[in-house]
Amino acid sequence: MGRWTVLLMTFALLLSPSLGSANPNGVGGGNQDMQCGGACHGDADQNRSSAATVTVEGDTVAYQGLLTSVSVTIEGVETSASGTLGVFLLSSLTGANDLPSDHGWVVLSNSEGEDGNYVERNVPSGTTEQTVTWTLRAPLDTGTYTLHGAIHHGSTNGGQSPYYGQSTTPLTISVVEPPEDLPRLAEDYRPPTSRLLGEDAPLSFQTAFVTEATVEYRLQGGSPVTVQAVSSGEDTWTFDLPVALQPSVVEWRVTLVGEGPDQVTPWFQVRQEAPGWSVDENAAYAQSLALFLTMLAGFLALQHRSARTVQAKHDAFNQLVQGGEE
Amino acid sequence: MVSSNTLHVVSTEVTVGSFAMAGLAFMLAGIASHDLLERRRWLPLADHVGHFALAFGMLAMPVAILTGIASSPGEGVDHPVLINKMFLASTSFGLALGVVLARWRHGRGLWENEWGKRWQSLGGMMAAGLTLLTASLGGTFARGESLLDMLHLPYDQVPLMPVLLSMVLIVAALGNLWVARSEA
């Protein structure tokens, strides 16, 4: 067997375990189907049933194209030592086309201050209940829709089994046409999901059929504070949120008043965080390659030069010896 | 299933252990080749151990890098410590490959060359030192502390070159390698 074959086989053997690795620390929040990109939690041949109870709750009636909120509550939470719990909001449990967006829903925000149907939480030890809330824009077609909750997690006493759980009863929502003069947020309005620490710019929102707007905001789990939104143009309103000094999630909702019946929006979540660190990754990868090749070529050139100097000395010595003999 | 975190720990231990052994062997080879401490007889053993350990460490290093990227939180390299780890690992890998290829190309006679033996032992020790520094950065990233914190190195500062300068270096290095190969 050639040495290159042995080298390649050794490298392949060293590399092969990483191909079958799991993700006990999760894959991060975002848009994920129930199978979560082929995760073993969604594979019926590999997973185990979670003992947790998953309940999905929300309004049973929503206006087409307008906002509503849905919560998934998990009782009897169990996780692996890392404490990671993955929570899904799904539009079906078939494992295919199960994102809410596949059935016309638009996820605007969730209680982690993100805008995906999948949320990962780090559950503190001893916590047995978790609730995740999503704010959704209802489909533009009227009809009856269902939403489901599902969870992925590990366990400290179940070996390394991937656990999967789902809500036993779906939330059934009737999407109906709104009254024509219903006070509402503008159809294309997307509430912000993040804000930098120290930022003091006012938040704004656009509306339709609204003559007055009152905003309530609160830290998650705290008491709400009420402020009056100020009109800053046609169908545009602004209000001030206090400047955040440390990372947190603040929730706000608005009561819209107009000719039609008053409307209260769902709670919107805004993650307040420090500015992220970023770098030009292409420049970093190019520099890594440059460092690798420069060190390789530089060292080989150095040794080549040393060897040549010695060879030149030997040649000169031999010439001297041969000259003397003649 | 084994998590990428566990695989990263395993592959890192293999890499760091191999490089540490190689570093020690290159130091002994440097001492022996200079006839210091009257230990000339160490040279063949230190020579073989150093180069074999370095080569084995280089096999494990890509696995450590891949599993490290898979186990780091977030997406991509989004922390200055991770970028510095990548730079140090690349530098170390390039130097280690250079040391092994130089030994393969020039043979045992390399240790008879006055400057060649100095570069070889220094190169091996530097590659090992850079890998140990990379591992130390991993400790700083994962646990917030490391044994080498006493050196007060600026881990949070990234010395990033423009892409153009990197490209110039890459082209120059490839040209150098091509010329060296033609001369061989």
Question: B50 to chain A, minimum CA–CA distance in Å?
Answer: 17
| Six token digits for residue A79 | 């996780």
The CATH number of the domain holding residue A173 is: 2.60.40.680
Dist. CA A322–CA A4, nearest whole Å? 44
Domain count, chain A: 2
Beta-bridge partners for A68: A136
Query: Residue A17: is its pLDDT beyond 60?
Result: no
Nearest beta carbon to residue A297 from set B14, B115, B173: B173
DSSP per-residue letters across A37-93:
TT-GGG-TTT-EE--SEEEEEE-SEEETTSEEEEEEEEES----TT-EEEEEEES-S
| Six token digits for residue A112 | 């982690």
pLDDT category at B2 given cuts 50, 70, 90 is low
Predicted pLDDT of residue A112 = 79
Share the mean pLDDT of chain A.
Answer: 82
Dist. CA B36–CA B121, nearest whole Å? 14
Is the Cβ–Cβ distance between B131 and B137 less than 8 Å? no
Q: If we measure between CA atoms, which residue out of A93, A60, A55, A58 comes closest to residue A173?
A: A60
| 3-state DSSP assignment of residue A216 | strand
Q: Confirm whether B174 is domain-assigned.
A: no
> Do the Cβ atoms of B90 and A277 come within 8 Å?
no
B161: Cβ–Cβ under 8 A, 6 or more apart, which residues?
A: A283, A287, A290, B169
pTM: 0.59
Mean pLDDT of the region A244-260: 87
Query: Residue A127: is its pLDDT beyond 90?
Result: no
Mean pLDDT of the region A220-229: 85
Residues A172 and A65 grouped into a single domain: yes
Q: If we measure between CA atoms, which residue out of B117, B13, B132, B1 comes closest to residue B64?
A: B13
| Six token digits for residue A306 | 């040393």
A:B CB pairs within 8 Å = 176
Of A117, A151, A177, at which residue does a domain stop? A177
Mean pLDDT of the region A132-160: 85
Q: Considering only CB atoms, which chain B residues are within 8 Å of A290? A: 161, 165-167, 169-170, 173
pLDDT in tens, B145-159: 777 777 777 777 888
Is the Cβ–Cβ distance between B119 and A306 less than 8 Å? yes
Mean pLDDT of the region A26-51: 71
Interface residue of B13, B118, B131, B176 to substitute, partner A, most A CBs within 10 Å: B176
| 3-state DSSP assignment of residue A157 | coil
Side chain identity at A307, as an amino acid letter? A
Residues A130 and A188 grouped into a single domain: no
Of A177, A199, A234, at which residue does a domain stop? A177
Residues A170 and A52 grouped into a single domain: yes
Query: Residue B31: is its pLDDT beyond 70?
Result: yes
pLDDT category at B61 given cuts 50, 70, 90 is confident
Is the Cβ–Cβ distance between B84 and A282 less than 8 Å? no
Query: Residue B1: is its pLDDT beyond 60?
Result: no
Q: Considering only CB atoms, which chain B residues are within 8 Å of A289? A: 90, 166, 170
Share the mean pLDDT of chain B.
Answer: 85
Q: Confirm whether A35 is domain-assigned.
A: yes
pLDDT category at A38 given cuts 50, 70, 90 is low
Residues A173 and A197 grouped into a single domain: no
By CB atoms closer than 10 A (0-12, 13-18, 19+), residue B180 is middle
Query: Residue B52: is its pLDDT beyond 90?
Result: yes
> Do the Cβ atoms of B94 and A24 come within 8 Å?
no
Predicted pLDDT of residue A37 = 52
Nearest beta carbon to residue B177 from set A279, A290, A297: A297
Q: How many helices (H) and strands (E) does chain A have?
A: 2, 21
Angle at CA A61, nearest 5°, toward A56 and A64? 115
Residues A140 and A259 grouped into a single domain: no
Query: Residue A108: is its pLDDT beyond 80?
Result: yes
Domain count, chain B: 1
Mean pLDDT of the region A270-294: 86
Q: How many CB atoms lie within 10 A of CB A317?
A: 10
Q: Considering only CB atoms, which chain A residues are within 8 Å of B61? A: none
Residues A126 and A191 grouped into a single domain: no
Of A162, A177, A192, at which residue does a domain stop? A177
A309: Cβ–Cβ under 8 A, 6 or more apart, which residues?
A: B115
pLDDT in tens, A51-66: 888 999 998 999 988 8
Residues A134 and A230 grouped into a single domain: no
Nearest beta carbon to residue B1 from set A21, A295, A304: A21
Q: Which helix (H) or strand (E) holds B35?
A: none
Reported ipTM? 0.90
Q: Confirm whether B179 is domain-assigned.
A: no
> Do the Cβ atoms of B173 and A298 come within 8 Å?
yes
The CATH number of the domain holding residue A243 is: 2.60.40.10
Residues A93 and A225 grouped into a single domain: no
Domain of residue A36 covers 22-177
Question: B60 to chain A, minimum CA–CA distance in Å?
Answer: 7
Nearest beta carbon to residue A300 from set B71, B90, B101: B101
Predicted pLDDT of residue A153 = 82
Dist. CA B10–CA B15, nearest whole Å? 9
Q: Which helix (H) or strand (E) holds B51?
A: helix B43-71
Q: Confirm whether B33 is domain-assigned.
A: yes
Predicted pLDDT of residue A250 = 87
Side chain identity at A58, as an amino acid letter? G
Minimal-distance CA residue of chain A relative to B55: A7
Q: Confirm whether A28 is domain-assigned.
A: yes
Residues A206 and A167 grouped into a single domain: no
Interface residue of B8, B81, B169 to substitute, partner A, most A CBs within 10 Å: B169
Minimal-distance CA residue of chain A relative to B74: A28
Q: Confirm whether A308 is domain-assigned.
A: no
Predicted pLDDT of residue A120 = 86
State the Rg of chain A over Cα: 30
Query: Residue A21: is its pLDDT beyond 60?
Result: no
> Do the Cβ atoms of A288 and B86 come within 8 Å?
yes
| 3-state DSSP assignment of residue A127 | coil
Domain of residue B31 covers 4-159
